[in-house]
A = this chain, B = another copy of it.
Amino acid sequence: MEKNEISVMENILSANDTIADELREQLGQKGILCLNLMSSPGSGKTSLLERITGYITEGIFAIEGDIQTSLDADRLASAGIKSYQINTGPFGGDCHLEAGWIRDAIAQIDLSGINYLFVENIGNLVCPAEFDVGAHLNGVVLSVTEGEDKSLKYPLAFRNSQFCLISKVDLLPYLDINMQRMIDNVLSINPEIEILIISSKTGEGFDELIEFLEKNRIKN
């Protein structure tokens, strides 16, 4: 990066962190656990939320980040999840969500009765990892179709996350993927990360995922 680019970037990140910290505290005081989901495009973040409604039927809200369209918010509405759509705009579109977007969204949302606020970040394994959105927990959703090496090639998202959901495992029989190597690669980047193996199609791993959510729920 050029020198002036770096200075602009540092200012943006510092302002963002302040907002993120305030947001995290504010949500925590209301008993709302905020989870930021990061992933490549098409890794199954929306399908995951749809499937969760089979287990947790109330108290979920989703903030949907997309460059364009409200396709995901529409899908969630059909599944009975209330959501707020953020579109990051026309010029290619911002490639990540920032805490300010979430703060502005929350100002317009009725959060009474909400226990879990999911932020479905822009599908992008690079830029979202650089911006704290004010979540209590960051998670990466990694589809098995993306290959074993993604955590090595895009380490920051994995380093900055507390959990990793390895998704679409129903497709494993049709892929040349060594699952243990995929897991080991994730752990080599972040030995503390909690890994859950899931399929939103078959429901595999959802008992453990719901348990994980319940364990982290904020009890004020």
Contact = CB atoms under 8 A, between A and B. Distances in A.
A41 B125 contact: yes
A129 B91 CA distance: 10
8 contacts: A41-B150, A41-B154, A92-B156, A95-B127, A122-B126, A123-B126, A123-B150, A124-B124
A2 interface: yes
Contacts of A2: 8, 12
A17 interface: no
Secondary structure type dominating chain A contacts: loop
Interface magnitude class on chain A: 35 or more
Contacts of A143: 42, 145
A193 interface: no
A162 interface: no
A62 to B, nearest CB: 16
Interface string A134-160: 000000000101110110111110000
A94 B153 contact: no
A55 interface: no
Interface string A47-82: 000000000000000000011110100000000000
A202 to B, nearest CB: 12
A66 B123 contact: no
A30 B69 CA distance: 42
A124 to B, nearest CB: 5
Contacts of A124: 95, 124-127
Nearest to A47: B147
Interface in A161-220: 168, 170-171, 174-176, 201
Given A8-B4, A12-B5, A130-B92, A171 B145 contact: yes
